[in-house]
Amino acid sequence: MKKPSTATSRFQEILEEQEADLARVLRTRDGIAIEKSADQMDEIQYASERDLAIRNVDRDSALLRQVRAALRRIHDGTFGACIECEAAISPKRLVAVPWAPHCIQCQEAADRNGGKNPDGEQDLGNAA
């Protein structure tokens, strides 16, 4: 394991804060409770709110996986290198999306392929 550089240490701090925030949010899933009402309009509203809460949990869970993957890349010394082509990810991109696993070119290719990597498997690293 390589010792992180000063810049990488700052990214590690940001990612660890993000990880803690996401973990805290995911522990409190109050909006997913199934509520019943005699009023059909209330039922529809409850179902809509529950669906939104579930989508939020899905999004936050995916982001948490991406953040943890970025922290693993910091620890194994591969942070900042594209996991697809191994080119350096631009510092500007990392500032915007510290958990980015791809350089902009590989990310654009993944986006064009509908979030699938070249092997046709779903790619979880689709952070902008």
Instruction: Identify residue 3 by its one-letter amino acid code.
Output: K
Is 88 a domain residue?
yes
- pTM of this prediction exceeds 0.85: no
Mean pLDDT, residues 91-118 taken together: 87
How far apart are the C-alpha atoms of 83 and 53, rounded to whole Å? 31
Q: For 1-13, how does the pLDDT look when each residue is reduced to its tens digit (9 = 90+)? A: 445 567 788 999 9
pLDDT of residue 60: 92
User: Residue 122 above 90 pLDDT?
Assistant: no
For residues 69-93, b (16+ Cβ closer than 10 Å) or e, as one string?
bbbebbeeeebbbbbbeeeebeeeb
Count the domains in the chain: 1
Q: For 46-63, how does the pLDDT look when each residue is reduced to its tens digit (9 = 90+)? A: 888 888 888 988 999 999
User: Which CATH number goes with the domain that contains 55?
Assistant: 1.20.120.910
Is 79 a domain residue?
yes
Is 117 a domain residue?
no
Instruction: Identify residue 14 by its one-letter amino acid code.
Output: I
pLDDT of residue 42: 82
Q: Which domain holds residue 85?
A: 6-112
Token readout for 65 is: 């996986």
pLDDT, averaged across the chain: 82
